[in-house]
Amino acid sequence: MANKTVLFDKHVEAGAKIVDFGGWDMPINYGSQIEEHKAVRQAAGVFDVSHMTVVDVTGDDSQVYLQKLLANDVARLKEDGKALYSGMLKEDGGVIDDLIVYRMPGWYRVVVNCSTREKDLAWMVKQAEGFSVDVNERPEFSMVAVQGPNAREKVAELLGGEQAELIRDLKVFQGKESGDWFIARTGYTGEDGLEIVLPNDVAPAFWQQLLDAGVVACGLGARDTLRLEAGMNLYGSDMDESISPLAAGMGWTIAWEPEDRDFLGRQALEAQKVAGDLPKLVGLVLETRGVLRGHQKVIAEDGSEGEITSGTFSPTLGYSIALARVPKSTGDTAHVEIRGKLHAVKVVRPPFVRNGERVYK
Amino acid sequence: MSEIRPELKYLISHEWLRVESDGTAFVGISDHAQDAMGDLVFVETPEVGSTVTAGEEAGVVESVKAASDIYAPVSGEVVAINEDLEENPEAVNNDPYGDGWMFQIKLSDPAELESLELLSADDYVAKVEEEEH
């Protein structure tokens, strides 16, 4: 029996095509995925992301515990409300999950993926041993992402009052509580916008208000093309427990300083850094016809091989883009094998699109 | 339920065939197929003048989600392709039996129509429903 979010009936009512996503019945689209994608790039769209797992870390040792648990350093969060993207690594450096952690007044809120929920919670509880912390999942909350250039203003107008002021004052990558709501200026689309954690019982009414205000309901299909244009990794495709963050474009999320912070996976990553032979995650662009897809073979100019980890048609650019793990020696061009034929691609540094515009060179 | 045109013949792989009185036939994909694939972004048709063989690959459609081969329902020479699809592949989503046609074949052997296992609209509906359950 698949899990359903409290917005499930709303999705069905809106004609969504429902698919299984990590054990959850979720909307893949409500008609045209490309139209939903464009709504987010040009105006505002809303996604039900209640399948994602909200975990609160409380207790006296919250900070030191997270400094051990995460490759990025929560001590970098200089004020309440600030957010940090991080990998959670095994001792051997493999990525258990990627997540966002928000610093709250005296505690932390962590949002992890849905397909990794059980192993994440088990790992977090196991690593909590010896620390004075509580790790609590918060299934009583729903989560919606309202994304796009008009997203913040639309939500501010709907909520009004203090919440509107809060939304207008939020800085990028910052979240704040407002009663039992939590409103953060974060997202997975490469556009401005909000991620809102709110009580389950008020989520359907809020969802409807957003639709009535002209915000477009968007499914997980558009979420995937948007995140790929934004050059953001998808757990399970672009990295997993067998992949080092250094081979997944996540080097920037590892806080090496201070040197004496002994986070899980540190020793393995230091050895990998010295060895210097890991492949790298790059962006690929196919400006002619055809679509790059996960698992297609990439052939570098020197003949060495890699693989596409995520590929799609980019609705914003009008041609195909991909993330690929390739040998370190790969230069500015390569070939991809699509149904037996080799196609020339550009090798670029992601992201591909930010705030509605092409950004790669 | 997706739209089915009773006057057309179908393949189990979701192509439709419309036989004309001049010995040619138009080929496209069914409404059910376009709905299952989602937004189409590229349509690769065979070249005009090339020969296609019943049951063999004649083209490819790519949607945002996946690539899918197009099989020729009958054998013959390709006499026309829908050039508009190069710029507007979404025509297949919007009008799969009309503006979304893909190519036109001059049948090499009209008798083939009798020997091939082409499905009637009713049989195609039954197969689609079977697939979904």
Same domain, A37 and A158: yes
A28 to chain B: which residues are within 8 Å by CB? 38
pLDDT at B1 over 70: no
pLDDT at A13 over 70: yes
Cβ pair A168, A125 in contact under 8 A = no
Asked if A289 and B44 come within 8 Å (Cβ–Cβ), the reply is yes
* Residues β-bridged to residue A263: none
The answer as to whether A111 is a domain residue is no
CB environment B37-73: b (16+ within 10 A), e (fewer): bbbbbbbbbbeeeeebebeeebbbbbbbbebbebbbb
pLDDT at B133 over 80: no
What pLDDT score was predicted for residue B131? 81
Domain count, chain A: 2
The answer as to whether A304 is a domain residue is yes
* Alpha helix segments (H runs only) across chain A: 8-13, 33-42, 62-69, 117-127, 151-159, 161-169, 203-212, 220-229, 266-275
pLDDT at A1 over 80: no
Structure tokens at A157: 């107008």
What pLDDT score was predicted for residue A84? 97
Q: Which CATH number characterizes residue A302's domain? A: 2.40.30.110
State pLDDT tens for residues A280-320.
999 999 999 899 999 999 999 999 999 999 999 999 999 99
Asked if A313 and B60 come within 8 Å (Cβ–Cβ), the reply is no
Average pLDDT, chain A: 97
pLDDT at A155 over 90: yes
Q: Which CATH number characterizes residue A204's domain? A: 3.30.1360.120
Scan for tokens 């045109």, then name that residue: B5
Report the percentage of chain A scoring pLDDT > 70: 100
Same domain, A179 and A323: no
Cβ pair A53, A235 in contact under 8 A = no
Tell me the C-alpha distance between B100 and A135, whole Å.
55
Structure tokens at A285: 């662009």
Write the residue in A33, A289, A290 that is nearest to B64 by C-beta: A33
d(CA A312, nearest CA chain B) in Å = 6
Write the residue in A33, A291, A339 that is nearest to B38 by C-beta: A33
Asked if B38 and A221 come within 8 Å (Cβ–Cβ), the reply is yes
Scan for tokens 């505002």, then name that residue: A44
Structure tokens at A92: 């051997």
Q: For A331-339, what is the mean pLDDT? A: 96
State pLDDT tens for residues B91-100.
999 999 999 9
The answer as to whether A262 is a domain residue is no
The answer as to whether A348 is a domain residue is yes
The answer as to whether A161 is a domain residue is yes
Q: Which domain holds residue A334?
A: 279-358
State pLDDT tens for residues A66-80.
999 999 999 999 999
The answer as to whether A93 is a domain residue is no
Same domain, A220 and A340: no
Domain ranges of chain B: 9-123
What is the topology classification, in CATH, of domain B9-123? OB fold (Dihydrolipoamide Acetyltransferase, E2P) (2.40.50)
Q: How many CB pairs lie under 8 A apart between chains A and B?
A: 34
d(CA B96, nearest CA chain A) in Å = 15
d(CA B41, nearest CA chain A) in Å = 7
A225 to chain B: which residues are within 8 Å by CB? 64
pLDDT at A11 over 90: yes
Q: For A343-349, what is the mean pLDDT? A: 98
Asked if B64 and A290 come within 8 Å (Cβ–Cβ), the reply is no
The answer as to whether A334 is a domain residue is yes
Tell me the C-alpha distance between B128 and B133, whole Å.
9
The answer as to whether A133 is a domain residue is no
Q: In what order do the strands lie in the sheet with A175-178?
A: A175-178, A181-184, A193-199, A141-147, A45-48, A216-218
Tell me the C-alpha distance between B1 and B124, whole Å.
13
State pLDDT tens for residues A249-265.
999 999 999 999 999 99
In order of A270, B76, B98, the CA distances from B116 in angstroms are: 64, 14, 24
- The residue of chain A nearest to residue B67, with distances taken between CA atoms, is A291
